[in-house]
Protein backbone atom coordinates (compact mmCIF):
# COMPACT_ATOMS: atom_id res chain seq x y z
CA UNK A 1 0.00 0.00 0.00
CA UNK A 2 1.07 3.55 -0.76
CA UNK A 3 0.09 6.20 1.77
CA UNK A 4 0.41 9.93 1.09
CA UNK A 5 -0.27 12.33 3.95
CA UNK A 6 -0.23 16.15 3.70
CA UNK A 7 2.32 15.99 0.89
CA UNK A 8 3.57 19.36 -0.33
CA UNK A 9 6.38 20.21 -2.73
CA UNK A 10 7.55 23.69 -3.75
CA UNK A 11 9.99 24.70 -6.46
CA UNK A 12 10.77 28.31 -5.64
CA UNK A 13 7.46 30.16 -5.70
CA UNK A 14 5.72 27.32 -7.57
CA UNK A 15 3.63 24.84 -5.58
CA UNK A 16 3.87 21.56 -7.46
CA UNK A 17 2.03 19.45 -4.88
CA UNK A 18 -0.29 21.06 -2.37
CA UNK A 19 -1.26 19.17 0.82
CA UNK A 20 -2.09 15.89 -0.93
CA UNK A 21 -3.47 12.97 1.08
CA UNK A 22 -4.60 9.64 -0.35
CA UNK A 23 -3.99 5.89 -0.16
CA UNK A 24 -3.42 3.43 -3.01
CA UNK A 25 -4.75 0.04 -1.94
CA UNK A 26 -3.66 -3.45 -3.01
CA UNK A 27 -5.80 -5.64 -5.22
CA UNK A 28 -6.87 -2.73 -7.45
CA UNK A 29 -5.66 -0.75 -10.43
CA UNK A 30 -5.71 2.88 -9.31
CA UNK A 31 -5.60 5.52 -12.03
CA UNK A 32 -3.81 8.80 -11.32
CA UNK A 33 -5.34 11.56 -13.43
CA UNK A 34 -4.97 15.29 -13.87
CA UNK A 35 -4.33 17.94 -16.54
CA UNK A 36 -0.79 18.71 -17.69
CA UNK A 37 0.99 20.50 -14.87
CA UNK A 38 -1.26 19.00 -12.19
CA UNK A 39 1.66 17.48 -10.26
CA UNK A 40 1.29 13.78 -11.12
CA UNK A 41 4.91 13.08 -12.06
CA UNK A 42 6.16 15.16 -9.13
CA UNK A 43 4.01 13.10 -6.76
CA UNK A 44 5.40 9.86 -8.17
CA UNK A 45 8.95 11.15 -7.80
CA UNK A 46 8.22 12.00 -4.16
CA UNK A 47 6.91 8.48 -3.56
CA UNK A 48 10.15 7.06 -4.97
CA UNK A 49 12.41 9.40 -3.02
CA UNK A 50 13.69 11.12 -6.17
CA UNK A 51 12.60 14.44 -4.69
CA UNK A 52 12.22 15.49 -1.06
CA UNK A 53 8.88 16.89 0.09
CA UNK A 54 8.62 20.39 1.47
CA UNK A 55 6.08 19.05 3.96
CA UNK A 56 4.13 15.88 4.64
CA UNK A 57 5.09 12.26 4.20
CA UNK A 58 4.73 9.35 1.82
CA UNK A 59 5.33 5.68 2.65
CA UNK A 60 5.25 2.31 0.94
CA UNK A 61 4.20 -0.49 3.28
CA UNK A 62 4.75 1.92 6.17
CA UNK A 63 8.33 2.82 5.19
CA UNK A 64 9.91 5.62 3.21
CA UNK A 65 11.37 4.41 -0.07
CA UNK A 66 14.96 5.07 1.02
CA UNK A 67 14.44 2.76 4.02
CA UNK A 68 13.78 -0.28 1.83
CA UNK A 69 16.75 -2.68 1.87
CA UNK A 70 16.05 -4.11 -1.60
CA UNK A 71 13.65 -1.58 -3.17
CA UNK A 72 13.17 -3.42 -6.47
CA UNK A 73 11.81 -6.40 -4.54
CA UNK A 74 9.10 -4.20 -3.04
CA UNK A 75 8.42 -1.42 -5.57
CA UNK A 76 8.56 -1.55 -9.35
CA UNK A 77 8.40 1.84 -11.06
CA UNK A 78 8.57 3.18 -14.59
CA UNK A 79 8.68 6.96 -14.94
CA UNK A 80 10.77 7.42 -18.08
CA UNK A 81 11.05 4.65 -20.66
CA UNK A 82 14.04 6.31 -22.33
CA UNK A 83 16.10 6.60 -19.13
CA UNK A 84 18.35 3.73 -20.22
CA UNK A 85 22.03 3.63 -21.21
CA UNK A 86 21.76 3.37 -25.00
CA UNK A 87 24.98 1.40 -25.30
CA UNK A 88 23.68 -1.49 -23.23
CA UNK A 89 21.70 -4.36 -24.65
CA UNK A 90 18.24 -5.02 -23.25
CA UNK A 91 19.61 -8.07 -21.46
CA UNK A 92 22.57 -6.25 -19.90
CA UNK A 93 20.39 -3.35 -18.80
CA UNK A 94 18.13 -5.70 -16.86
CA UNK A 95 21.08 -7.74 -15.60
CA UNK A 96 22.71 -4.63 -14.12
CA UNK A 97 19.47 -3.78 -12.33
CA UNK A 98 19.13 -7.33 -11.04
CA UNK A 99 22.65 -7.36 -9.64
CA UNK A 100 22.06 -4.18 -7.63
CA UNK A 101 19.16 -5.81 -5.80
CA UNK A 102 20.43 -9.40 -5.48
CA UNK A 103 17.91 -10.73 -8.00
CA UNK A 104 18.71 -14.10 -9.66
CA UNK A 105 20.11 -13.94 -13.20
CA UNK A 106 17.40 -16.27 -14.51
CA UNK A 107 14.83 -13.62 -13.75
CA UNK A 108 16.17 -11.45 -16.58
CA UNK A 109 15.21 -14.04 -19.20
CA UNK A 110 11.81 -14.49 -17.56
CA UNK A 111 10.81 -10.84 -17.76
CA UNK A 112 12.20 -10.42 -21.28
CA UNK A 113 9.92 -13.25 -22.34
CA UNK A 114 6.99 -11.76 -20.48
CA UNK A 115 7.21 -8.42 -22.30
CA UNK A 116 8.00 -9.94 -25.71
CA UNK A 117 11.62 -8.77 -26.06
CA UNK A 118 13.40 -12.13 -26.13
CA UNK A 119 14.28 -11.78 -29.82
CA UNK A 120 15.95 -8.40 -29.28
CA UNK A 121 17.54 -9.16 -25.91
CA UNK A 122 21.07 -8.80 -27.35
CA UNK A 123 20.38 -5.56 -29.22
CA UNK A 124 21.42 -2.16 -27.86
CA UNK A 125 18.55 -0.14 -26.49
CA UNK A 126 19.53 3.04 -28.35
CA UNK A 127 17.95 1.54 -31.46
CA UNK A 128 14.65 0.77 -29.75
CA UNK A 129 11.42 2.49 -30.70
CA UNK A 130 9.41 4.18 -27.94
CA UNK A 131 7.13 1.16 -27.80
CA UNK A 132 10.06 -1.24 -27.38
CA UNK A 133 11.56 1.06 -24.74
CA UNK A 134 8.25 0.99 -22.86
CA UNK A 135 8.33 -2.81 -22.87
CA UNK A 136 11.91 -2.79 -21.60
CA UNK A 137 10.94 -0.37 -18.84
CA UNK A 138 7.99 -2.57 -17.88
CA UNK A 139 10.34 -5.55 -17.76
CA UNK A 140 12.43 -3.58 -15.28
CA UNK A 141 9.42 -2.95 -13.06
CA UNK A 142 8.65 -6.66 -12.99
CA UNK A 143 12.22 -7.75 -12.36
CA UNK A 144 12.11 -7.96 -8.56
CA UNK A 145 8.56 -9.40 -8.42
CA UNK A 146 7.39 -6.52 -6.18
CA UNK A 147 4.01 -6.09 -4.54
CA UNK A 148 3.75 -2.41 -5.53
CA UNK A 149 3.95 -1.17 -9.13
CA UNK A 150 3.93 2.38 -10.47
CA UNK A 151 3.63 3.37 -14.12
CA UNK A 152 3.74 6.88 -15.59
CA UNK A 153 2.11 6.90 -19.06
CA UNK A 154 2.92 3.22 -19.72
CA UNK A 155 1.07 2.97 -23.05
CA UNK A 156 2.99 5.77 -24.79
CA UNK A 157 4.36 4.42 -28.07
CA UNK A 158 2.51 1.10 -27.89
CA UNK A 159 0.36 -0.12 -30.76
CA UNK A 160 -3.23 -1.31 -30.12
CA UNK A 161 -2.09 -4.86 -29.39
CA UNK A 162 0.51 -3.57 -26.95
CA UNK A 163 -2.04 -1.35 -25.22
CA UNK A 164 -4.36 -4.32 -24.75
CA UNK A 165 -1.46 -6.36 -23.42
CA UNK A 166 -0.45 -3.78 -20.78
CA UNK A 167 -4.11 -3.36 -19.80
CA UNK A 168 -4.47 -7.09 -19.21
CA UNK A 169 -1.13 -7.21 -17.43
CA UNK A 170 -2.09 -4.49 -14.95
CA UNK A 171 -5.43 -6.16 -14.25
CA UNK A 172 -3.72 -9.50 -13.70
CA UNK A 173 -1.18 -7.96 -11.33
CA UNK A 174 -3.96 -6.35 -9.30
CA UNK A 175 -5.86 -9.64 -9.24
CA UNK A 176 -2.81 -11.19 -7.56
CA UNK A 177 -3.25 -8.72 -4.70
CA UNK A 178 -0.59 -6.25 -5.82
CA UNK A 179 -0.86 -2.46 -5.63
CA UNK A 180 -0.97 -0.98 -9.15
CA UNK A 181 -0.73 2.82 -9.50
CA UNK A 182 -0.82 4.18 -13.04
CA UNK A 183 -0.82 7.71 -14.46
CA UNK A 184 -2.22 8.30 -17.94
CA UNK A 185 -3.80 10.96 -20.15
CA UNK A 186 -5.74 8.33 -22.11
CA UNK A 187 -9.15 8.52 -20.47
CA UNK A 188 -10.68 5.75 -22.54
CA UNK A 189 -7.89 3.40 -21.50
CA UNK A 190 -8.22 4.33 -17.83
CA UNK A 191 -11.96 3.72 -18.06
CA UNK A 192 -11.24 0.19 -19.30
CA UNK A 193 -8.44 -0.53 -16.85
CA UNK A 194 -8.76 1.26 -13.50
CA UNK A 195 -10.96 0.30 -10.56
CA UNK A 196 -10.39 3.50 -8.58
CA UNK A 197 -9.13 6.90 -9.67
CA UNK A 198 -7.34 9.75 -7.93
CA UNK A 199 -7.70 13.12 -9.68
CA UNK A 200 -5.54 16.14 -8.91
CA UNK A 201 -5.41 19.65 -10.34
CA UNK A 202 -2.82 22.35 -9.64
CA UNK A 203 -1.29 20.05 -7.05
CA UNK A 204 -4.51 19.61 -5.05
CA UNK A 205 -6.72 16.57 -4.61
CA UNK A 206 -9.95 16.88 -6.61
CA UNK A 207 -11.42 13.37 -6.40
CA UNK A 208 -10.63 9.98 -4.89
CA UNK A 209 -13.30 7.44 -5.75
CA UNK A 210 -14.33 4.59 -8.04
CA UNK A 211 -14.70 5.05 -11.80
CA UNK A 212 -18.46 4.51 -11.60
CA UNK A 213 -19.02 7.04 -8.82
CA UNK A 214 -16.78 9.60 -10.48
CA UNK A 215 -18.73 9.48 -13.74
CA UNK A 216 -22.10 9.51 -11.97
CA UNK A 217 -21.19 12.47 -9.75
CA UNK A 218 -19.59 14.58 -12.45
CA UNK A 219 -21.89 14.21 -15.42
CA UNK A 220 -25.52 14.88 -16.25
CA UNK A 221 -27.87 11.99 -17.01
CA UNK A 222 -28.95 12.14 -20.65
CA UNK A 223 -31.72 10.15 -22.34
CA UNK A 224 -31.57 9.51 -26.08
CA UNK A 225 -34.94 9.38 -27.84
CA UNK A 226 -35.91 8.63 -31.46
CA UNK A 227 -39.41 9.50 -32.60
CA UNK A 228 -41.17 10.61 -35.79
CA UNK A 229 -42.88 13.28 -33.66
CA UNK A 230 -39.88 15.31 -32.52
CA UNK A 231 -41.65 18.64 -32.03
CA UNK A 232 -44.49 17.11 -30.02
CA UNK A 233 -42.09 15.28 -27.73
CA UNK A 234 -39.88 18.34 -27.23
CA UNK A 235 -42.90 20.36 -26.10
CA UNK A 236 -44.06 17.58 -23.77
CA UNK A 237 -40.60 17.25 -22.22
CA UNK A 238 -40.37 21.03 -21.66
CA UNK A 239 -43.81 21.01 -20.01
CA UNK A 240 -42.60 18.24 -17.68
CA UNK A 241 -39.59 20.30 -16.60
CA UNK A 242 -36.92 18.76 -18.83
CA UNK A 243 -34.93 19.99 -21.80
CA UNK A 244 -34.75 18.38 -25.24
CA UNK A 245 -31.99 19.13 -27.72
CA UNK A 246 -31.73 17.92 -31.30
CA UNK A 247 -28.76 15.61 -31.70
CA UNK A 248 -28.26 16.17 -35.43
CA UNK A 249 -29.04 12.58 -36.38
CA UNK A 250 -32.81 12.69 -36.01
CA UNK A 251 -32.79 11.94 -32.29
CA UNK A 252 -33.36 14.07 -29.21
CA UNK A 253 -31.16 14.27 -26.13
CA UNK A 254 -33.26 14.82 -23.03
CA UNK A 255 -31.87 16.10 -19.73
CA UNK A 256 -33.56 16.86 -16.44
CA UNK A 257 -35.83 13.79 -16.50
CA UNK A 258 -34.99 10.13 -15.78
CA UNK A 259 -35.48 7.54 -18.52
CA UNK A 260 -38.70 6.16 -17.05
CA UNK A 261 -40.22 9.63 -16.79
CA UNK A 262 -39.37 10.41 -20.43
CA UNK A 263 -41.19 7.25 -21.46
CA UNK A 264 -44.22 8.23 -19.40
CA UNK A 265 -44.23 11.76 -20.83
CA UNK A 266 -44.16 10.40 -24.39
CA UNK A 267 -47.00 7.96 -23.62
CA UNK A 268 -49.15 10.64 -22.05
CA UNK A 269 -48.59 12.92 -25.07
CA UNK A 270 -49.43 10.16 -27.50
CA UNK A 271 -45.94 10.23 -29.01
CA UNK A 272 -44.64 7.07 -30.65
CA UNK A 273 -41.04 6.15 -29.72
CA UNK A 274 -38.56 4.20 -31.81
CA UNK A 275 -35.74 4.40 -29.27
CA UNK A 276 -35.49 5.26 -25.58
CA UNK A 277 -32.12 4.75 -23.94
CA UNK A 278 -29.95 6.26 -21.24
CA UNK A 279 -26.67 7.69 -22.51
CA UNK A 280 -23.80 7.01 -20.12
CA UNK A 281 -21.20 9.73 -19.92
CA UNK A 282 -17.60 8.71 -20.52
CA UNK A 283 -14.76 9.14 -18.06
CA UNK A 284 -13.31 11.76 -20.41
CA UNK A 285 -16.51 13.83 -20.35
CA UNK A 286 -16.72 13.69 -16.55
CA UNK A 287 -12.99 14.46 -16.22
CA UNK A 288 -13.17 17.48 -18.53
CA UNK A 289 -16.15 18.86 -16.67
CA UNK A 290 -14.56 18.47 -13.23
CA UNK A 291 -11.07 19.72 -14.11
CA UNK A 292 -12.02 22.64 -16.37
CA UNK A 293 -10.85 25.15 -13.76
CA UNK A 294 -7.62 23.24 -13.08
CA UNK A 295 -6.17 23.35 -16.61
CA UNK A 296 -3.09 25.57 -16.61
CA UNK A 297 -2.95 26.07 -20.38
CA UNK A 298 -5.93 26.44 -22.72
CA UNK A 299 -5.70 26.48 -26.51
CA UNK A 300 -6.74 29.80 -28.03
CA UNK A 301 -9.09 30.10 -31.00
CA UNK A 302 -6.06 30.67 -33.22
CA UNK A 303 -4.48 27.42 -32.05
CA UNK A 304 -1.97 29.05 -29.74
CA UNK A 305 -1.81 28.08 -26.11
CA UNK A 306 -2.59 30.64 -23.46
CA UNK A 307 -2.05 30.16 -19.76
CA UNK A 308 -5.11 30.19 -17.57
CA UNK A 309 -4.99 32.50 -14.55
CA UNK A 310 -2.22 31.14 -12.42
CA UNK A 311 -3.15 30.34 -8.87
CA UNK A 312 -0.96 29.43 -5.95
CA UNK A 313 -1.12 25.81 -7.06
CA UNK A 314 -0.04 26.36 -10.65
CA UNK A 315 2.85 24.18 -11.64
CA UNK A 316 4.57 22.63 -14.59
CA UNK A 317 4.50 18.90 -13.94
CA UNK A 318 8.01 18.63 -15.31
CA UNK A 319 9.47 21.23 -12.97
CA UNK A 320 11.87 18.54 -11.88
CA UNK A 321 13.86 16.47 -14.36
CA UNK A 322 12.40 13.15 -15.40
CA UNK A 323 13.23 10.12 -13.32
CA UNK A 324 16.50 8.51 -14.22
CA UNK A 325 15.50 4.87 -14.68
CA UNK A 326 13.79 3.87 -11.49
CA UNK A 327 12.34 0.49 -12.33
CA UNK A 328 11.72 -2.47 -10.09
CA UNK A 329 9.97 -5.60 -10.90
CA UNK A 330 7.80 -8.73 -10.93
CA UNK A 331 6.03 -11.11 -13.25
CA UNK A 332 2.76 -12.90 -13.71
CA UNK A 333 2.05 -15.90 -15.83
CA UNK A 334 -1.48 -14.68 -16.39
CA UNK A 335 -0.51 -11.90 -18.80
CA UNK A 336 1.54 -12.93 -21.80
CA UNK A 337 3.30 -10.50 -24.04
CA UNK A 338 2.48 -10.33 -27.70
CA UNK A 339 4.77 -9.23 -30.47
CA UNK A 340 7.29 -6.45 -29.98
CA UNK A 341 5.79 -3.02 -30.38
Residues 171 and 129 in one domain: yes
The radius of gyration of the chain's CA atoms, rounded to the nearest angstrom, is 24
Identify the band that residue 34 occupies on the pLDDT scale cut at 50, 70 and 90: confident
- 43 with 184, same domain: the answer is yes
Other beta carbons within 10 Å of 255: 15
pLDDT, one tens digit per residue, over 151-195 is 998 888 788 888 898 899 999 999 999 999 999 887 878 888 999
Share of the chain above pLDDT 90, in %: 59
> What CATH number should be reported for the domain holding residue 237?
3.30.70.100
**DSSP states along 12-79:** TTEEEEEEEEEEE-TTEEEEEE--TTSSHHHHHHHHTTSS--SEEEEEETTB-GGG-SSGGGTEEEES
Identify which has the larger pLDDT, 140 or 159: 140
Least trusted range by pLDDT, from 167-176, 248-257, 258-267? 248-257
With cut-offs at 50, 70 and 90, classify the pLDDT of residue 313. Answer: very low
> Which pLDDT does position 338 carry in this prediction?
41
Q: Is residue 336 part of a domain?
A: no
> 18: domain range?
2-210
Claim: this prediction has a pTM higher than 0.85: no
Task: Examine the fold and report which residue of 210, 233, 249 is the final residue of a domain before the chain moves on.
Answer: 210
Does 26 fall in a domain?
yes
> Does one domain contain both 11 and 146?
yes
The verdict on 108 and 59 lying in the same domain is yes
Same domain, 25 and 100: yes
Q: Could you read off the pLDDT of 270-307 as tens digits, one per residue?
A: 999 999 998 776 677 767 766 666 555 555 545 455 45
Q: Are residues 228 and 190 in the same domain?
A: no
Looking at the fold, whether 102 and 121 belong to one and the same domain comes out as yes
Domain boundary among 159, 184, 210: 210
Residue 199 has pLDDT above 60, yes or no: yes
**Number of independent structural domains in the chain:** 2
Considering the domain architecture, whether residues 105 and 129 belong to the same structural domain is answered as: yes
Amino acid sequence: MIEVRGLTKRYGDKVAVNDLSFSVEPGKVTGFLGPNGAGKTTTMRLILGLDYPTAGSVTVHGKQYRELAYPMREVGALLDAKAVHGGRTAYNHLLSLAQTNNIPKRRVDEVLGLVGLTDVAKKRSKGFSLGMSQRLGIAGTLLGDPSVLMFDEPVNGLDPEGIRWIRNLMKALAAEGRTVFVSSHLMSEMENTADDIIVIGRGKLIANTTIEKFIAENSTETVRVRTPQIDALAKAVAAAGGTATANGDGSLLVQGLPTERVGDVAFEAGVRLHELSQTRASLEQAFMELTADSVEYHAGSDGTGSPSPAGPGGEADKAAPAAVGQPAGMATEQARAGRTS
